[in-house]
Amino acid sequence: MSAGSPPSQEGLPPNVVRQLTASADELWNHSTEKINAEVVALTYGSLVANLAREALSSGAGVAAINTRLDEMGYNIGLRLADDFASRTHSLFANTPTRRTGDGANSVSLLRRCADFRETAEIISKVAFKMYLGESPAITDFALSSPADGNRPAFSLEFVEPPFSSHVMLPPVLNGRSTSAGETGAGGKSREDALSYLSMIAGVIRGALFALGLEVITSTPRCTLWGDSISEIRVVLVRKIPASAPPSDD
Amino acid sequence: MSAGSPPSQEGLPPNVVRQLTASADELWNHSTEKINAEVVALTYGSLVANLAREALSSGAGVAAINTRLDEMGYNIGLRLADDFASRTHSLFANTPTRRTGDGANSVSLLRRCADFRETAEIISKVAFKMYLGESPAITDFALSSPADGNRPAFSLEFVEPPFSSHVMLPPVLNGRSTSAGETGAGGKSREDALSYLSMIAGVIRGALFALGLEVITSTPRCTLWGDSISEIRVVLVRKIPASAPPSDD
């Protein structure tokens, strides 16, 4: 993906993935303060309900809720990137990547990921494991995705998306409201649907920006809309030049 | 506290406390889905910031933020009570309490707590452990507290309160704003201070209501206001008669 590197779909070598997964498990099990996921789901539900109340009463509409969740997530991601970098510094210091081949002591592994496939694997197998205790599947990876402006892209798929247990969206929020206009297949209008994963998509966008990658994220599928899985799509726009690193604060 | 029972400050027998603590640890370690506390603190921070923005821009003031957090917590508590009752049903089925002396198979241990001291211990050592992974200290317990209308009352004290890592309240929210009026010791006006623990206090109020106890909660001290600890005060108003149980839905 970077200039001079031949494109690769290979990602990290399997033994490195095993090592990172074990290290992430170790961090999760022994060095992480945690909160019961049920409490978190209920708290996040309160946050979303409050935003929905505010947006609908002011006439801003459902899209404004998704935008706000994404903004909140982006700011959380900027903060989490610092935490991620400091907690994984030693973990990654001696981990060679397939492309660079060395264990250079850099700010973070994501920063020096040789290709986007490696980035996807670190997000799924290390970052999600460290922060949410699970690793979503990586699907539809492409170095040049036609549906995504011929950019590198991948999806993260969740069978049981985080923060969503026991959640049911009312019709006015799930894109099935008749008053919101029934468009598209199955009478759904996804532009009018509240995307419960918007905050997590925003977190990915913010954290990757802080770590040197500008991406676009979207949430094309959601179990709360009746889909069998929830999906976050991550599309690489550009690597931010190392000569202009994002500010630390 | 209940009619016919002599008052007691004894609480649960030490061996029962040890057994419950071990069981709560077991539930926490092996049967609980969890989320990284840093993620939760940042998410809760977003929720509070959003409420603060909304309240201050509408002129509603800081007290409205606390009220809204308490309401959110109350609704979360009503939901968590079901979860607590179902997850601890088998755990408590054979646990004798000091007053009842038997292991009657009741809806929940809280429901049949013989005195308020037992209730305090179950909240601290079982419920907080199960949901937040830590057990706050119980302090200032009294069966008839003069400062609390001669009602049974206790405090839960937190050295590092949940959800609060890396949080700093701006002057307009921590009761030290000069424009808000400097009253009381140290120039603070606590009526004008955002209480970060209001949601957790509301959770306790909601969960206890669902389990048959009507309480008043308050948050007299907070590390975010410069206090050395954060405190939630819980005052018993009445036991809700078993003949009129709260609705399940």
Q: Which domain holds residue B84?
A: 37-90+134-239
A68 shares contact with chain B (CB less than 8 Å): yes
Q: What is the ipTM of this complex?
A: 0.82
Q: In B217-238, which positions are buried (b, 16+ CB within 10 angstroms) versus exposed (e)?
A: bbbebbbbbeeebbbbbbbbee
CA distance B45 to chain A (A): 9
The partner residues of A192 in beta bridges, in order of sequence, read: none
pLDDT score of B187 more than 50: no
Q: Chain B interface, mutation test: which of A46, A69, A168, most B Cβ atoms within 10 Å?
A: A46
Angle among Cα B72, B232, B124 to the nearest 5 degrees reads 95
Structural domain includes residue B115: no
Structural domain includes residue A218: yes
Q: What's residue A190's pLDDT?
A: 73
Q: Do B80 and A130 touch (CB under 8 A)?
A: no
Give the three-state DSSP class for A240: coil
Structural domain includes residue B232: yes
Range with the poorest average pLDDT among A20-24, A62-66, A126-130: A20-24
Computed over every residue of chain B, the mean pLDDT equals 83
Q: What's residue B184's pLDDT?
A: 42
The distance of Cα B191 from the centroid of its chain, to the nearest Å, equals 20
Q: Where are the alpha helices (DSSP H) in A123-180?
A: 128-132
Range with the poorest average pLDDT among A62-71, A89-98, A130-139, A239-248: A89-98
pLDDT score of A105 more than 60: no
How many cross-chain Cβ pairs, A to B, lie less than 8 Å apart?
A: 99
Which among A35, A46, A51 has the least Cβ separation from residue B34?
A35
Q: Which residue has the tokens 């005052």?
A: B235
Q: What's residue B41's pLDDT?
A: 93
Confidence of residue A180 (pLDDT cuts 50, 70, 90): very low
Confidence of residue B14 (pLDDT cuts 50, 70, 90): confident
- Percentage of chain A modeled with pLDDT above 90: 52
CA distance A120 to chain B (A): 20
List of chain A residues whose C-beta atoms are within 8 Å of the C-beta of residue B162:
35
Q: How far apart are CA B145 and CA B193, in angstroms?
A: 25
For residues B163, A234, A237, A189, the Cα torsion angle rounded to the nearest 10 degrees is: -100
Q: Chain B interface, mutation test: which of A28, A31, A36, A75, most B Cβ atoms within 10 Å?
A: A36
Mean pLDDT throughout A34-62? 92
CB B103 within 8 A of CB B232: no
Q: What's residue B98's pLDDT?
A: 46
A227 shares contact with chain B (CB less than 8 Å): no
Confidence of residue B207 (pLDDT cuts 50, 70, 90): very high
B53 shares contact with chain A (CB less than 8 Å): no
Which among B37, B46, B75 has the least Cβ separation from residue A47?
B46
B131 shares contact with chain A (CB less than 8 Å): yes
Q: Do A32 and B35 touch (CB under 8 A)?
A: no
Q: What's residue B114's pLDDT?
A: 63
Mean pLDDT throughout B115-125? 91
Q: What's residue B182's pLDDT?
A: 43
- Phi, psi at A22, each rounded to 5°: -65, -40
Q: Do A36 and B130 touch (CB under 8 A)?
A: yes
Q: What's residue B210's pLDDT?
A: 93
CA distance B49 to chain A (A): 10
pLDDT score of A123 more than 80: yes
Q: Is B4 left (phi over 0), alpha (psi -120 to 50) or beta?
A: left
Computed over every residue of chain A, the mean pLDDT equals 83
pLDDT score of B60 more than 80: yes
Structural domain includes residue B23: no
Of the ranges A80-94, B142-156, B162-176, which is most confident? B142-156
pLDDT score of A139 more than 60: yes
List of chain A residues whose C-beta atoms are within 8 Å of the C-beta of residue B130:
36
Confidence of residue A114 (pLDDT cuts 50, 70, 90): low
Number of domains in chain A: 1
Q: Chain B interface, mutation test: which of A30, A32, A39, A128, most B Cβ atoms within 10 Å?
A: A39
| Domain of residue A180, CATH code | 3.30.1380.20
- Percentage of chain B modeled with pLDDT above 90: 52
Mean pLDDT throughout A106-114? 53
Q: How far apart are CA B192 and CA A47, in angstroms?
A: 23
Q: Do B35 and A34 touch (CB under 8 A)?
A: yes
Confidence of residue B86 (pLDDT cuts 50, 70, 90): confident
Contacts of residue B62, Cβ cutoff 8 Å, sequence gap at least 6: B52, B55, B56, B172, B173, B175, B180, B192, B193, B194
Q: How far apart are CA B5 and CA B201, in angstroms?
A: 28
List of chain B residues whose C-beta atoms are within 8 Å of the C-beta of residue A79:
42, 166
Structural domain includes residue B164: yes
Mean pLDDT throughout B24-39? 89
Structural domain includes residue A213: yes
Angle among Cα A234, B37, A153 to the nearest 5 degrees reads 5
B54 shares contact with chain A (CB less than 8 Å): yes
Structural domain includes residue A121: no
CA distance A27 to chain B (A): 11
Confidence of residue A205 (pLDDT cuts 50, 70, 90): very high
Q: What's residue A141's pLDDT?
A: 95
Q: Taking the model in full, what pTM does it have?
A: 0.83
Mean pLDDT throughout A175-195? 62
Q: Which residue has the tokens 């690193």?
A: A245
Name the residue with higher pLDDT: A109 or A28.
Answer: A28
Structural domain includes residue B216: yes
pLDDT score of B185 more than 60: no
